[in-house]
Amino acid sequence: MSTFEAKNQASAPAGTHATVNLSISGQELLFPPLPYDIHARADAATANKQLQDFVHVATYRKDVTRKQVTSETFGPKHGAFRDLGAAIKQHTLDHLDHYLEMFVERATAAGAKVHFAQTADQANDICLDVARRCGAKLCVKSKSMVTEETHLLPQLQAMGVETVETDLGEFILQLDHDAPSHIVTPMIHKDRRAVARAFERELGAVYTEDPQQLTGIARAYLREKYRRADLGISGGNFLVAETGSLVICTNEGNGRFCTSAPKVHVAFVGIEKLVPSYEHLGVMLKLLARTSTGQPLTVYTHVITGPRRPQEHDGPGQLHIILVDNGRTEILKKETREMLRCIRCGACLNACPVYRKIGGHAYGAVYSGPIGALITPLFRGLANYPDLPNASSLCGACFEACPVKIDIPRFLVQLRSEMVSRKITKLSDRLFYRLWAWSLGRSWTYRIGGWMQKMFFRAKARQRGTLAKGDPYRSRGWLDHLPGPAAGWTSQRDMPTPPARSFRQWWNQERSSS
């Protein structure tokens, strides 16, 4: 039993409200030892009533809202809007060099300093260097998945820069030494009781479960930090090439504080976040807000073009935009390019039955859910995450939800294919499927195989006394135990046996002569 599982079971029996991940560091949650096996965490999650209550209910509700709002807004044009969103992103990716050059030129002309980071370490180093030069002591940070990806915070802290997450969800996770489990709703796996406990323990606040009061506590704490901070860090939802602008969408206004109060602003943005112009940005913002939270527009849509200008009184004097590659150009090179259209709306997580069951931490990586199952193996090695492409029923809910039409199931299958060709797939599986395929390759082997399966199943059912007599095309038996790997099936449910006769037998008897 893994440490996680042990702690998880110990800390979260049904009916209590213990925090799931209190005793495992956030770092370990998103950066587990590799190669990563999903089973322990996934199994613990499905057995965790609290997680099911929070994650399953919340994601299902979000998915319903998304469908409702998108259909109300776009009506029959929803498909066309998705096509447009996909086309805008795909076009930008197909000409990324052109738009990157344009962005750098325009952003620089507006006074920003644009940096390129090939790796996570380089991105962090650039940021640490900026922090050092401006003598930063206190940093306020708005939500950024890229900084999770580069693992920035521990390094800033190690350098002696106190860094405070200001997105309410991320703030609570930071206090709780936990890690985000959803791209958009980072603390989807927690409830307000967990927040109350964290505020009481870490901030010395009076225990309260009232959302208004809890928000008030966070607000008072964070306001003080904004006032004193000398460095602000943000992510970026979009970059507009035409104007060299950085676009940040938040609902709490924390992004605006982080990027305007401190004297220096550093933004971490993946190179795939570009759109050509404002016209295109409009389409993407419409899609993002509606598919991610079901809002017509996020509450704060912040467009930043350059730092404070000489005649202006407010705003940071320096704006650093770090364009992060960290594996993206590798994805761009191949037919996997389409994955980079992702605008991190989280709709695929909410729609995914597997995510609903296991939550984000089970993916063992920064990006979870269907899109995480695709990009994590590409960012961090397929052999390191052999379960992620496989732990999917390929139901297609993610593809249907995706505002930029990334065909996630198709790419998951493509990764499985790569696992087979690179022999990451187990030898026993490779032999089994090839034997199975061989038996399906000619009708006589297929018929013998089907007959043997039927005989085996029915003999077992007869032994168990579950074989029903009656209609030879309908009456069957049931098995509660199957041998070998098939035991996975019967560990959860019974296996029906075939009836006495097959369709083919009926056809040959009744029809072939007519």
Partner 1 sequence: MKVTLFVTCLTDTFYPRTGMAVVKVLDRLGCQVDFPQEQTCCGQPMFNNGFTEEARALARRMVQVFEDSEYVVTPSGSCAAMIRDYYVDLLKDDHAYAAGAKALAGKTYEFYEFLLKVMKVDLRQLGARWPGKVTYHYSCHLRGIGVTDEAVRLMKQIEGLDYVPLPKAEQCCGFGGTFAIKYPQISGSLVRDKVACIKETAAPYVVSNDAGCTMNISGSCHRDGVKVKFISLAEIIAEALGLLETA
Q: Which is nearer to partner 1, 22 or 47 (CB)?
A: 47
CA-derived radius of gyration, the chain: 26
Q: Restricting to residues 15-74, name those near partner 1 by CB under 8 A.
A: 38-39, 42-43, 46-47, 52, 60
Q: Per CB under 8 A, which of residues 439..498 are in contact with partner 1?
A: 440-443, 446, 450, 453-454, 471, 473-474, 476, 478, 480, 485-486, 488-489, 491-496, 498
CB-CB contact of 268 with 146 (8 Å):
yes
For residue 207, give Cα distances in angstroms to 192, 193, 198, 494: 11, 9, 9, 48
**Stretch of 166-174, 197-205, 367-375, 433-441 contacting partner 1, by CB under 8 A:** 433-441
Binding-site member from 275, 345, 419, 461 for partner 1 (CB under 8 A): 419
Dihedral sign computed on CA atoms, order 71, 168, 371, 241: positive
Q: What is the dihedral of CA 315, 183, 272, 339, to 10 degrees?
A: -170
Q: Rule CB under 8 A: which of 215-234 touch partner 1?
A: none
Question: For residue 138, which of 243, 261, 19 has the smallest C-alpha distance?
Answer: 261
Q: How many residues bind partner 1 (CB under 8 A)?
A: 71
Per CB under 8 A, which region of 116-124, 204-212, 300-308, 421-429 contacts partner 1?
421-429
Segment near partner 1 (CB under 8 A); pick from 80-88, 202-210, 215-223, 437-445 = 437-445
Q: How far is the CB of 237 from partner 1 (least distance, A)?
A: 28
Element (H, E) at 108: helix 96-109
In sequence order, which residues have a C-beta less than 8 Å from that of residue 190 and are 6 or more positions away? 19, 20, 54, 172, 173, 176, 178
Residues 6 or more apart whose Cβ sits within 8 Å of residue 67: none
Cβ contact 140:232 at 8 Å:
yes
Min dist. Cβ of residue 445 to partner 1 (A): 9
Query: In the set 35, 315, 381, 396, which binds partner 1 (CB under 8 A)?
Result: 396
Report in angstroms how near the CB of residue 415 gets to partner 1 at its nearest. 8
Structure tokens at 394: 């390929």
How far is CA 88 from its chain centroid? Answer: 22
Choosing from 417, 428, 463, 509, the residue that interacts with partner 1 (CB under 8 A) is: 417
Residue from the set 429, 431, 459, 463 that interacts with partner 1 by CB under 8 A: 429
- The stretch near partner 1 (CB under 8 A) out of 185-193, 242-250, 312-320, 430-438 is 430-438
Nearer to partner 1, 34 or 486 (CB): 486
Sign of the Cα torsion 331, 335, 341, 344 reads negative
Closest separation in Å from C-beta 442 to partner 1: 8
**Distance of closest approach, residue 404 Cβ to partner 1, in angstroms:** 17
Query: Which amino acid, one-letter code, is at 259?
Result: T
Phi/psi class of residue 37: alpha, beta or left (left: φ > 0; alpha: ψ in -120 to 50)?
A: beta
Q: Which stretch binds partner 1 (CB under 8 A): 162-170, 241-249, 263-271, 425-433?
A: 425-433
Interface of this chain with partner 1, residues 348 to 377, rule: CB under 8 A: 353-354, 356-358
Beta strands in 395-439 (DSSP E): none
Residue among 162, 192, 400, 456 that touches partner 1 (CB under 8 A): 400
CB of 13 to partner 1, least distance (A): 18
Query: Cα-Cα-Cα-Cα dihedral of 491, 492, 496, 497, to 10°?
Result: -10
Return the half-sphere exposure (C-beta side, CA atoms, 13 A cut-off) of residue 187: 23
Site for partner 1, residues 138 to 157, rule: CB under 8 A: none
Three-state DSSP state, 303: strand
Residue with Cβ nearer partner 1 (10 or 420): 420
Which is closer to partner 1, CB of 333 or CB of 444?
444
Dihedral (CA of 13, 15, 16, 17) sign: positive
392 is a site residue for partner 1 (CB under 8 A): yes
Smallest distance, partner 1 to C-beta of residue 452, A: 11
From candidates 78, 155, 390, 464, binder to partner 1 by CB under 8 A: 390
Q: Which is nearer to partner 1, 71 or 417 (CB)?
A: 417
Q: Whose CA is closest to 176, among 23, 49, 361, 367?
A: 23
Q: How far is the CB of 338 from partner 1 (least distance, A)?
A: 14
Q: Pick the binder of partner 1 from 6, 436, 463, 481 (CB under 8 A).
A: 436
